[in-house]
């Protein structure tokens, strides 16, 4: 099995219009879209953004007739404390092979909203990491913790600032990730567009020093041309830290693959 993209979006996400077929030009062995699930989404006027499961099921059934690819069901779960029971209720009746665990918003604003620029960057980062830590305790589902630095993207943080201000919080978070056997994602949007490779250079060895071994790459594509975005560059970074394998999740099973 070759490693395949485990973080991308289609027209079933509120912020993408991309069609499955456009991702399938190269007919990959496996394909999984991880469309957004965000309750009371601060980014869309506090609406519940839930990907249409019936449309997904029908779409995958049709694609199965047209492609040799194995199609999996995926979802990106944005979790705010207080929403856990409602999300778990939904998941109890909707089956997914891959569940990404994400922190996007806090019930008042998305961490990418302009309002964060009116706040102290260290206060925003503390709020973000505290929320992530709480969710790792209170929400038991998921396979991969995505873009650990999402809440820092609107600011210019250095590795030295993370170490001096938030190493305690990150150690707590990574210990929980390891205990739960979640994977740590290297996110292409973080790595490239938001120029946070340096933060990964700090976080990866910290995670490893605590016993962390599970890594994934995710393009976070919202358009097909970003499929497998920066995979060679991100794989090169992991090799620098002697990472030799990535993990893929398929329901209760997980498999290890070579780096691309």
pLDDT digits (tens, 9 = 90+) for 76-85: 999 999 999 9
H or E, element range at 248: strand 245-250
Q: Per residue in 163-175, pLDDT tens?
A: 999 999 999 999 9
- Tens digit of pLDDT for each residue in 192-207? 999 999 999 999 999 9
Q: How confident is the model over 99-123, as a mean pLDDT?
A: 98
Kindly state the percentage of the chain with pLDDT values over 70.
100
Give the containing element (helix H, strand E) for 160. helix 159-179
β-pairing, 215-218 vs 183-187, is: parallel
Question: If you average pLDDT over every residue of the chain, what do you get?
Answer: 98
Residues 134, 187, 239, 247: is their CA dihedral positive or negative? positive
| Mean pLDDT computed over 142-155 | 98
The whole-number pLDDT of residue 140 equals 97
Residue/partner pairs of 89-98 with CB below 8 Å, 24 or more apart = 90/37, 90/50, 91/141, 94/53, 97/32, 97/72, 97/73, 97/249, 97/250, 97/251, 98/6, 98/32, 98/34, 98/72, 98/73, 98/74, 98/143, 98/144, 98/249, 98/250
Is the pLDDT score of 68 beyond 90? Answer: yes
pLDDT in the model for residue 63: 98
**The pLDDT of residue 26:** 83
DSSP3 helix / strand / coil % (the chain, rounded to 5): 40, 20, 35
Domains of the chain and CATH, by start:
20-258 (3.20.20.140)
């Amino acid at each position: 099995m070759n490693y395949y993209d485990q973080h991308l979006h289609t027209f079933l996400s509120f912020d993408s219009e991309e069609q499955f077929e456009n991702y399938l030009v190269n007919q990959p062995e496996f394909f999984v879209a991880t469309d957004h699930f965000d309750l009371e989404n601060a980014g869309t006027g506090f609406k519940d953004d839930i990907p249409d499961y019936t449309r997904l099921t029908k779409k995958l059934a049709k694609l199965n007739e047209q492609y040799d690819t194995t199609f999996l069901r995926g979802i990106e779960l944005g979790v705010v404390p207080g929403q856990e029971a409602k999300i778990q209720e939904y998941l109890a009746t909707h089956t997914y092979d891959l569940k990404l665990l994400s922190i996007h918003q806090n019930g008042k604003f998305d961490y990418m909203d302009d309002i964060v620029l009116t706040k102290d960057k260290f206060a925003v980062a503390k709020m973000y990491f505290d929320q992530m830590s709480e969710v790792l305790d209170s929400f038991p589902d998921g396979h991969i913790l995505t873009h650990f630095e999402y809440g820092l993207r609107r600011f210019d943080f250095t590795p030295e600032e993370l170490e001096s201000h938030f190493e305690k919080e990150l150690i707590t978070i990574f210990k929980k990730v390891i205990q739960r056997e979640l994977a740590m994602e290297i996110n292409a949007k973080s790595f490239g567009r938001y120029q946070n490779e340096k933060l990964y250079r700090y976080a990866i060895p910290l995670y490893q020093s605590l016993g962390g071994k599970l890594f994934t790459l995710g393009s976070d594509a919202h358009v097909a041309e970003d499929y497998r975005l920066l995979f060679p560059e991100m794989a090169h970074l992991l090799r620098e830290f002697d990472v030799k394998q990535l993990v893929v999740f398929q329901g209760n099973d997980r498999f290890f693959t070579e780096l691309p």
